[in-house]
Structure 1
Amino acid sequence: MQSLELKIPPLALVVLFAGLMWLLARLTPGFDYAVPWRQVLVATLSALAVLIILAGVASFRRASTTVNPLNPSSSSALVVSGIYRITRNPMYLGFLLLLAAWSLMLANLAVLLLLPVFVWYMNRFQIVPEERALTSLFGNDYTTYCARVRRWI
């Protein structure tokens, strides 16, 4: 299964999961539910997600390091400030929140099953390989950071 490590860009994975969620919602209309204030909730959650993602990207840009998720070994700086004081993976957290907003928009209970699958995939095939690379690059500084800040939130 290592062949999937760092192979699919996380943004492409979000698009793939969004498509799967849409398809699952169409195939399981019996799981539809009503969501009061749906548009407001979706807009609020989406805005929060985008802000978290942009905060992560901005922190990387300020540190002049790569945002390329497929090549973490090219990182030139360990970013531990800004949003990275709260979560080690703000961009991925933001992607998860976007998918959660999409699930609210679809208003189908079955699609919620795909959210933990997304988290599992990201942990197994993206985050753990990134953590290996960052441990190799930054050693004790990175392991100390990991002990202090959670992977997601």
Structure 2
Amino acid sequence: MLHVLETRVPPPIVLLLAAALMWCLANLSPASLRWPGTGWLAAALGTAGLALNLVPKWWFGRAGTTVNPMRPQATSRLVVAGPYRFSRNPMYLGHALLLLAWASVLAQPFALAGVGLYLAWITRFQILPEERMLAERFPDAYPAYRRRVRRWL
């Protein structure tokens, strides 16, 4: 029954929902993790997250294939260069880093739950269906790529 949710919710929406949940959870917690370097940490994580979300899109465009996560079946080429040499999912990794930056800004321990929930949702409802489709579409190349490159890092 849950398969109806696969590739149905755009990942940026999942990101925003996780960020909103983190804000709500942070407001429930009296504890604070704020320290003098929190702002710098948030800036570094946010910059890395933004880069990991934008640069892979350029590689998809260069390869002439779709970047639309709602239509993985429209993939025409397997992208294995650039950031895809290190992670099979650099854009989702970029989202996770953006959420870690937000958690750093919120400086509340409960906010980190949103990062975990984002990773769980994206893995189950976006990445696993994408991986199944890629294995079907590229039966030789994708399994070899999958053996060489980890899902996250």
- For the residue of structure 2 that corresponds to 1:31, the secondary structure is coil
Aligned to 2:10: 9
Aligned to 1:44: 44
1:31 Cα shift? 2.6
Gaps of 5+ in 2: none
- For the residue of structure 2 that corresponds to 1:139, the secondary structure is coil
Q: Distance in 1 between matches of 2:82 and 2:14?
A: 26
- Which aligned pairs between 1:65-144 and structure 2 lie closer than 5 A? 65-144=65-144
Deviations 1:56-94 (A, max 9, x none): 111101001000001101001100011100000010000
1:36 Cα shift? 2.1
* Contact 1:5-1:126 at 8 Å conserved across structures: yes
Aligned to 2:19: 18
1:32 Cα shift? 2.0
Q: Distance in 1 between matches of 2:89 and 2:119?
A: 12
Deviations 1:30-50 (A, max 9, x none): 232222222111111111111
Gaps of 5+ in 1: none
TM-score of the aligned structures, taking structure 2 as reference length? 0.96
Q: Which amino acid aligns with 2:72?
A: P
Q: Which amino acid aligns with 1:152?
A: W
Q: Distance in 2 between matches of 1:131 and 1:70?
A: 13
- For the residue of structure 1 that corresponds to 2:139, the secondary structure is helix
Query: Quick one: percent identity of the two aligned structures?
Result: 43
Aligned to 1:35: 35
* Contact 2:15-2:95 at 8 Å conserved across structures: yes
1:54 Cα shift? 1.5
TM-score of the aligned structures, taking structure 1 as reference length? 0.96
Q: Distance in 2 between matches of 1:142 and 1:34?
A: 43
For the pair 1:60 / 2:60, whether they are aligned, the reply is yes
Aligned to 1:147: 147
* Contact 2:18-2:118 at 8 Å conserved across structures: yes
Q: Distance in 2 between matches of 1:87 and 1:63?
A: 17
Number of aligned pairs?
Answer: 152
Q: Which amino acid aligns with 1:10?
A: P
